Structure 1
């Protein structure tokens, strides 16, 4: 039985196989399950889960223009960000922001994290 997180984003993609190739072969996500007849997959990496579904008319809320997902940013916490970054660089995926350490204020605390930003797939 798959434990589902309380909030699992579902991303519309133009080509499910292409997206799965990125997440499963370049990044170390694993396939939790899929419904090929619906062009749908549930994938996970450590405690992060995402659903991917090839675009269809059922969930369409507006015109989709590539690249999808403008204005949204997902933070995925992993044990080894350097390995994740190395895999993306090794496969020459475009990086918008190189890996760096950033500190953010949360009320009276400063929280530090290493992060980078890629365009995804």
Structure 2
């Protein structure tokens, strides 16, 4: 396994619940885990995350739901439909319904079909499927 240069590590309130969400609903893969530490390194296609139940190692202040306020994690995937299917099958609510968005980069527009979902602790995940580019 090759480690990405940036791998967010999310403090979670329940390792068991978070692992279920990421593995069974979103279909991330466990790269490795340390059950005794309630920690797992997980991946989906080219994206990597670490989850660990709240401990005193990384605490910078009180965590209150929703966690991660002010950040969303964009996760580029080949196709968002399989992820949506898992969420729908499990009656898991979306934060923002799927839609096409075009973002300007200089004189080009970059297209994404994307949606947002909050994980069990409220971390905001934005799954994006690349739609290519078009002139501005």
Bigger strand fraction: 2
Detail structure 1 runs of 4+ shifted over 3 Å in the superposition.
none
Structure 1: which 5+ residue stretches go unaligned? none
- Which residue of 2 is the match for residue 60 of structure 1? 59
Instruction: Name the TM-score, length of structure 2 as normaliser.
Output: 0.85
SS of equivalent to 1:105? strand
1:30 pairs with 2:29: yes
Cα offset, 1:44, TM superposition: 0.3
Instruction: Name the TM-score, length of structure 1 as normaliser.
Output: 0.95
Q: Indicate the RMSD between aligned Cα atoms, in angstroms.
A: 0.8
Give the distance between the partners of 2:109 and 2:18, measured in 1 at CA: 35
- Which residue of 1 is the match for residue 43 of structure 2? 44
- Which residue of 2 is the match for residue 5 of structure 1? 4
SS of equivalent to 1:75? strand
Cα offset, 1:87, TM superposition: 1.2
SS of equivalent to 1:8? coil
Cα offset, 1:96, TM superposition: 1.4
Cα offset, 1:102, TM superposition: 0.6
Number of residues of Structure 1 aligned to a counterpart in Structure 2:
120
- Which residue of 1 is the match for residue 78 of structure 2? 79
Structure 2: which 5+ residue stretches go unaligned? 121-136
Give the distance between the partners of 1:97 and 1:110, measured in 2 at CA: 21
